[in-house]
Chain A
Amino acid sequence: MARIELFSDEGFRCDGRRPHELRKMSCRLGTFEQADGSSYVEMGNTRVLATVYGPRETKSNRSRLLFDRAIINCEYSLATFSTPERRRKPRGDFRSIEITNNLKEVYESAILTELYPYSQIDIFLQVLQSDGSNYSACINAATLAIINAGIPIKDIVCACSAGIINDTPMVDLSYIEESMGSNAMLTVALLPKEKQILSMESSGRIHLEAMDSLVDTAINGCMDVNNIMKGTVLNYVME
């Protein structure tokens, strides 16, 4: 098998995108009747299903409820059939726990939780197919589900990943680019109106000088994602 050229001299990535282009992204709201809010997001071959329940009272862990705001409960799972090689468990590995905690923090600061004291909001994320940038797809899906549930949120939180390949920053990495690039990868979650960064997560080593351009690239990617999400929400509301 021939070597894969991650970024060609002619300016194309291995799937035919240019560095600043996202994969084809499509989203739907209200995919489940049962849940209070739900959404389905496709970013290229990465597909995520999100459901939101609440704000509601719970009986099971009353002790954890807070008197001044709602608590957020997140659950991220990567389906056993979602990766090329079948996974043993959908949850519980280091990466899943990390993503779960990150998501929780993102939405604790984005949702206006103080409106709902003594209550709990549950966000469930299920990755159906994984092809890179799972974390950013999850944030986008969760935001849409929260909007669908009618929970007040500061802004349409959107996220996008970026990485550096052959010294060129590029957005929305696919699985090949993530795994073969062996380079740093950065995921930014953004409040688009104020361009405020809610969370920034990176892995791999990167030189400090390249950091700025990488963050800028990721933010630009977020703005593109935001446009698509906004369009989806408007369409949904119109219907």
Chain B
Amino acid sequence: MQTSKTYHRRTKKGSIIKVVRERYLRDDIHCGKESCEICVKVDEKYLPKKCCVYLQDESRVNLSKLCPQSHYVLPDLDVLLYQFDVLEDDAFGNNVIILKTVLNEVRDRNISVYAKLKEIENHRHFYVLVNEFHRDLFFERETDEKPNDYIDRLIRISIEWYRKHFQSPKVVLLTSTEQKKKQAKDAGLLCFTFAEYVESLKSSNAIIDKVAQIENAEINSQEAKFLYDEHLSLNVIQAGIKTGKYYQSKLMMNRFNNFEGYVHLILNNEDVRVLIKGRSNLNRAVHDDIVAVELLPESEWSVESDIIVDEEEVENEEVDEIVQVEKKVDVHAAKDEVSKKPTAKVVAIIKRNWRQYCGVLKLKSDKLMKSMIMTSHLFIPAEKRIPFIKIETRQYDVLKGQRIIVAIDSWPRDSKYPKGHYVRALGEIGDKDTENELLLIENDIPHLKFTTAVLNCLPSNPDTWRIPEEEYSKRLDLRDRCICSVDPPGCTDIDDALHCKEIGNGLFEVGVHIADVSYFVKPNTALDKEAASRGTTVYLVDNRIDMIPTVLSSNLCSLIEKKERLTFSVIWIMDAKTAEIKETKFAKSIIKSRAALTYAEAQLRIDSPNLNDDLTVNLRRLNSIAAKLKQKRLQNGALVLANFGELRFVEVESETHDNVMEIESKKLRDTNSMVEEFMLLANISVAEKIYNHFPEFAVLRRHPKPSASNLDELVKAAKAKGFEVSVSNGKELSESLDKAVDPQNAFYNLMLRMITVRCMRKAEYFCTGTLPKNEESLYHFGLAAPIYTHFTSPIRRYADLLVHRQLSHAIEASTIDPSLLSKDKLKKVCDNINTRHNNAQNANRASVELHTLLYIKKSGKALREDGYILYIFKNGIQIFIPRLAYCANYLFQNIKEWDFDDVNSTLFHSKTNCLLKRFDPVTVSLEIVDKSNEYNRGKEKIEVKIINPCIDFESDEQEIKRIKK
């Protein structure tokens, strides 16, 4: 037992409860220096696994000019909170002491800094000194002492103690302000301000720009001219929210218009989308912030703008853009008095959700740069919903052509733009790798390499790995079955395989075999945590970001041809004629795949009458059953939805150029739907099983039925061509969609289905215990399945892994981890997977778009494509180009000449007698315009011109001539 002092602290909680808490002050807390003679290291078995890091004996020698000898640094609270980007940089050096009291404060104020700190503390030798339980370092706060002063006092005490404790290395205090430095100097301590210390570092160039500018609000406030209203204090807001004067919500900015955002409020028990318009009403709120808003009086209500505010436009009118844009909006507002929407203004910001943003520096004219040295620059984020950010940098010449990452520090009242600092550069604009990384970062996709802790969870030598002996006895041996896998070409993570065997009496034994990833990924290991946080494998056009390391995804788990692999099987006994399921069985198994086929190969086998080997016969049987299953499913009202972007960019190796890209559209074969049908069936069977076994905890996937109002858009679109779409239930919807075929327009049906997809809510994972128990909450609308889950792709989806574990317990093949029996934990995991899933889709879409751009660029000239009008806005149209699976926005330059008809959504140009209707065919020319010189968010952009009907006649006279010819 350690000697310990008992110490009582009394605090009063809200009411009249007196809390007495003990605090044991100890004398065995290590100072942190690796080879300290006085301190005794605590036996590692009493420590949590993560924490065994000490400070190196020789540290930061010759790193700083201010303090060339060996020293440790100890940052104060503000430095840690606001300058973390600098500390995080390797150039700042290792060996930093952090007081526990300060660390706790950081955790309470900014959880994301805390999380990042926790991540780097081990390899960077950040030592946390637990001063609050140290006999010599802990003192009670005095009655009239402010919290911040108290923390500063504790810091000074610690430094003083360190000075007495060891002679070398010295401990240097880093403070945020001169004032605090003076205070410390008076006490005789070694102390520098953070800015001067960073400047004195050898490698300061790299990180000096990252030093955040903490505004001293009090000094500035007297003379400055304010652009924004003051935010109300938290007390006022809390009281206001209680009385219903203010509302709390998350601000979402309009993707097309940077001066318009909205919040979702509950007004009169209804979920209302409330507008917030203009810079002063937004009052320094940034996309994703949690804000407090106040509703404006009805007279000031306004209408949601139908216009797309183009970036370039904003740029030109930079000086008084607010006025301009607002005016424009007013023109429209006057027209539709009726459709005014509730409007609000932001009165305070409850929680900032600033992250780091990617983008480019705004270019300045060279003349200006030569005449004087300017360090203040404007940063243009790639995400259009984020305002420009003002940053200080001396590396303008280096950074101007690069994609950079910037963090926001503050947004003072007198500054039009938020202030921030430079974090790091990604690389050249337009470079494919840079752009790829950009879209990964913007979509918040973890794409770093797997850490050693994760890789340690894998079998040490994958090439010699064999299935352990005991597994043969535990598992069902299916090595004699004729099993094969069917996948797209080039697929290395094969997670499903099929077989079909005749067992007499007109019955088939049909099996779906899924890679048993749960055998390798055990719960609560580093590997499992990493996979859970990644949630899904992300597929980009030319890249794949794995959820689990490649060793597993492409080798040990992948069901490679002619190799024995561990699987989880679903086996049905089916009627050969009706495809009716007689019996369902689940088992852990071992298989040996006969062949890994591509869709085309499988199709070829089925179609060639001369082939009659086992494999082919199997495939034919499977195919015929699948056809019956599909028919049944469609009868139940499953929707066949257009999958937008069924295109592949295939890189063709060429000797003359780097890589040439070709577009190849995916061909749908019977075998595609064959595999799909069996996967659906397996998922449904598994869902039923785990739901019966864990009515409260099953992880399922649902797709809610869209409300009729959401489908209005679809009904309208169908009416434009004279079709009726019934939306009362899935079956009718599906049937009426099938009927809506325009013989003159081959893509009409496809476009209609695309609109349907946009109208519907997304399918989501959920834990059954978190939703009310009824059929509706389990229903999967798109598949018309009463219950559904994901089981068949554990290599690339974490949800499947969870389902595997649950199923494994349900069939009593393994014990279950407690985290799978907690609603709260499962809900968290499901929420994360859902977000990751969405992000992955967005990233995929962005990647396709990037490659479309590269494709057009490579072609070297303007492309002429046929397209169709998908949407009509007041000042522009959206054009769908089937060959590229690309939706292009087109804005009219002279919008006043066009008359917009809201009811039929048509645009009419009176001068040329040109009428634009929805779904009309148009011919467009696509060209890459490099606008990075003028501006543009650093992107080369696809410029769209409409050739037929002749809209761009002024700008494109040559084209017209060509058409006339």
Known: A8-B130, A9-B128. A21 touches B22 (CB 8 A): no
Contacts of A80 in B (CB 8 A): none
B100, A8: Cβ atoms closer than 8 Å: yes
Which chain B residues in 21-42 approach chain A with CB under 8 Å?
Answer: 21-26, 42
Assess the A10–B100 pair: CB atoms within 8 A: yes
Are A17 and B24 in contact, CB atoms less than 8 angstroms apart? yes
A11-34 CB contact bits vs B (8 Å, 1 = yes)? 110111111111110000000000
Residues of B in contact with A (beta carbons under 8 Å apart): 1-2, 4, 6, 11, 13, 17-26, 42, 46-48, 50-51, 100, 104, 107-108, 118, 128, 130, 132-133, 815, 817-818
Q: Enumerate 24 A-B pairs (CB-CB under 8 Å) in ascending A order.
A: A3-B107, A3-B108, A5-B104, A7-B48, A8-B130, A9-B51, A10-B48, A11-B46, A11-B51, A12-B130, A12-B133, A15-B21, A15-B24, A16-B25, A19-B46, A21-B1, A21-B2, A44-B22, A85-B17, A131-B22, A174-B22, A176-B21, A205-B818, A208-B815
Interface centre among A11, A45, A85, A131, by most B CB within 10 Å?
Answer: A11
Q: Cα distance A8–B48 when bound, in Å?
A: 9
- Tell which of B22, B108, B130, B817 touches A10, judged by Cβ atoms closer than 8 Å: B130
Residues of chain B within 8 A of A208, CB atoms compared:
815
CB distance from A54 to the nearest CB of B (A): 35
Distance of A208 Cα from B816 Cα, bound (Å)? 10
| Residue contact A84 to B17, C-beta cutoff 8 Å | yes
Q: Does A209 contact B (CB under 8 A)?
A: yes
CB proximity of A95 to chain B, nearest CB, Å = 20
Q: Which residues of A contact B11 (CB under 8 A)?
A: 1
A202 within 8 A of B: no
Find the B residue at minimum CB distance from A129.
Answer: B20
Bound form: Cα–Cα A1–B19 in Å:
13
Which listed residue (B18, B22, B47) contacts A11, Cβ 8 A? B47
Using CB atoms, name the residue of chain A closest to B17: A84
| Inter-chain pairs besides A21-B1, A208-B815, 5 sampled, C-beta below 8 Å | A12-B130, A15-B23, A16-B25, A21-B2, A44-B6
Query: Is B24 a contact partner of A10 (Cβ separation < 8 A)?
Result: no
A206 nearest in chain B by CB position: B818
Residue of B nearest to A224 (CB): B1
Q: Which of B2, B11, B48, B50 has the most CB of A within 10 A?
A: B48
The 10 closest A-B pairs by CB, nearest first: A16-B133, A16-B24, A207-B818, A11-B47, A84-B17, A15-B22, A2-B108, A10-B130, A11-B48, A18-B46
Contact between chains at A84 and B18 (CB < 8 Å): yes
Residues on the B chain within 8 Å of A20, using CB: 46
Residues of B within 8 A of A58 (CB): none
A168 sits at the interface (CB 8 A): yes
A166 CB to nearest B CB, Å: 8
Tell me whether B23 and A10 are in contact (CB under 8 A).
Answer: no
CB distance from A137 to the nearest CB of B (A): 14
Q: Are A9 and B26 in contact (CB under 8 A)?
A: no
CB pair A10 B1 closer than 8 Å: no
Residue of B nearest to A26 (CB): B6
B4 partner, pick from A2, A10, A24, A207, beta carbons under 8 A: A24
Instruction: Determine the chain A residues whose CB is within 8 A of the CB of B6 once the complex forms.
Output: 24, 44
Residue of A nearest to B100 (CB): A10
Per-position binary interface string of chain A over residues 106-120, scored 1 when its CB falls under 8 Å from any chain B CB and 0 otherwise: 000000000000000
Q: Which residues of A contact B118 (CB under 8 A)?
A: 9
Which chain B positions have C-beta within 8 A of A210?
818
Q: How far is A208 from B815 in the complex, measured between Cα atoms in Å?
A: 9
The interface residues of chain B lying within 8 Å CB-to-CB of A1 are: 11, 13
Q: How far is the CA of A9 from the CA of B128 in the complex (A)?
A: 9
Report the minimal beta-carbon distance from B627 to chain A, rounded to whole angstroms: 46
Looking at the assembled complex, report how far the CB atom of A223 sits from the nearest CB atom of chain B, in whole angstroms.
12
- List of B residues within 8 angstroms of A10 by Cβ: 48, 51, 100, 128, 130
Bound-complex Cα distance A200 to B815 (A): 24
List B contacts of A85 (CB < 8 A): 17
User: Is B19's CB under 8 angstroms from A84's CB?
Assistant: yes
Report A173-211 CB contacts with B as 1/0, cut-off 8 Å: 010100000000000000000000000000001111110
Which residues of B lie under 8 Å from residue A224 when comparing CB positions?
A: 1
- Which A residue sits closest to B121, measured CB to CB? A9
Q: How far is the CA of A131 from the CA of B18 in the complex (A)?
A: 12
Which residue on chain B has the smallest CB distance to residue A4? B21
Contacts of A22 in B (CB 8 A): 1
B397 → chain A, closest Cβ, in Å? 43
How far is B17's CA from A211's CA once the two chains are assembled, in angstroms? Answer: 35
With a CB–CB cut-off of 8 A, which chain B residues contact A44?
6, 22
Flag if A131 contacts B26 (CB, 8 Å): no
Nearest A-chain residue to B19, judged by Cβ: A84
| Chain A residues whose CB sits within 8 angstroms of the CB of B104 once the complex forms | 2, 5
Least CB distance, B440 to chain A, in whole angstroms? 29
Which chain A residue has the least Cβ–Cβ distance from B9?
A15
* 0 or 1 for each of A140-180: is its CB under 8 Å from B? (1 = yes): 00000000000000000000000000001000001010000
- Complex Cα gap A224–B2 (Å): 13
Please measure, in the bound complex, the distance between the C-alpha atom of A180 and the C-alpha atom of B107, giving whole angstroms: 19
On chain B, the residues within 8 Å of A5 by CB distance are 104
A16 to B25, CA, bound (A): 7
List B contacts of A7 (CB < 8 A): 48
> Which chain A residues border B4 with CB–CB below 8 Å?
16, 24
In Å, the complex CA distance between A15 and B25 comes to 9
Q: B2, B24, B107 — which one has the most chain A CB atoms within 10 A of its CB?
A: B24
A61 to B: closest C-beta gap in Å = 40
Complex Cα spacing A9 to B21, Å: 21
State in angstroms the CA–CA spacing of A230 and B17 once bound together.
37
Please name the residue on chain A nearest to B13 by beta carbon.
A1
A208–B20 Cα gap in the complex (Å)?
A: 34
Among A2, A9, A14, A176, residue most surrounded by chain B Cβ atoms (within 10 Å): A9
CB-nearest residue of chain A relative to B109?
A2
- Chain B residues with Cβ below 8 Å from A19 are 46
Query: Taking the nearest CB of chain A, how far is it from the CB of B444, in angstroms?
Result: 25
Find out whether the CB atom of A16 lies under 8 angstroms from the CB atom of B46: no
State the CA gap A224–B26 with chains docked (Å).
19
Q: Considering the chains assembled together, what is the distance between the CA atoms of A5 and B25 in angstroms? A: 17
Residue in B closest to A3 when the chains form the complex, CB atoms: B108
B121 to chain A, nearest CB (A): 9
Asked whether B23 lies within 8 Å of A16 as measured between CB atoms, the reply is yes
A16 to B131 alpha-carbon distance, docked (Å): 10
Give A205 to B17 CA distance when docked, in angstroms: 29
Q: CB-nearest residue of chain A relative to B129? A: A10
Given contacts A9-B50, A21-B1, contact A45 B20 (CB under 8 A): yes
B-chain residues with CB within 8 Å of residue A205 when the two chains form the complex: 818
How close is A7's CB to chain B, nearest CB, in angstroms? 8
Q: What's the minimum C-beta distance from A5 to chain B, rounded to whole angstroms? A: 7
Q: A42: nearest residue on chain B (CB-CB)?
A: B6
Q: Is the CB of A168 within 8 A of B48?
A: yes
A163 CB to nearest chain B CB (Å): 15
**A186 → chain B closest CB, angstroms:** 16
**A222 → chain B closest CB, angstroms:** 15
Report Cα–Cα, A171/B540, bound state, in Å.
51
* Contact residues in A for B130 (Cβ distance below 8 Å): 8, 10, 12
In the complex, what residues of B have CB within 8 A of residue A176's CB? Answer: 21
Inter-chain contacts of B108 with A (CB < 8 A): 2-3
Chain B residue numbers with a CB within 8 Å of A21 are 1-2
A23 B22 Cβ-Cβ under 8 A: yes
Bound Cα distance from A207 to B25, whole angstroms: 34
State A208–B47 Cα separation when bound (angstroms): 24
- In the bound complex, how far is the Cα of B48 from the Cα of A11, in angstroms? 6
A55 to nearest B CB, angstroms?
36
**Minimum CB distance partner of B14 in chain A:** A1
Residues of chain B within 8 A of A131, CB atoms compared: 20, 22
Does the CB pair B46–A45 fall under 8 Å? Answer: no
B50 / chain A contacts, CB cutoff of 8 Å: 9
Q: Which of B20, B26, B42, B51 contacts A16 (CB 8 A)?
A: B26
* Nearest CB of chain B from residue A172's CB, rounded to whole Å: 11
**Which residues of the partner chain A approach B2 to less than 8 Å between Cβ atoms?**
21
Task: Tell me which residues across on chain B come within 8 A of A18, comparing CB atoms.
Answer: 42, 46
Task: Give the residue name and chain of the A residue nearest to B25 (CB).
Answer: A16
How far is A3 from B111 in the complex, measured between Cα atoms in Å? Answer: 12
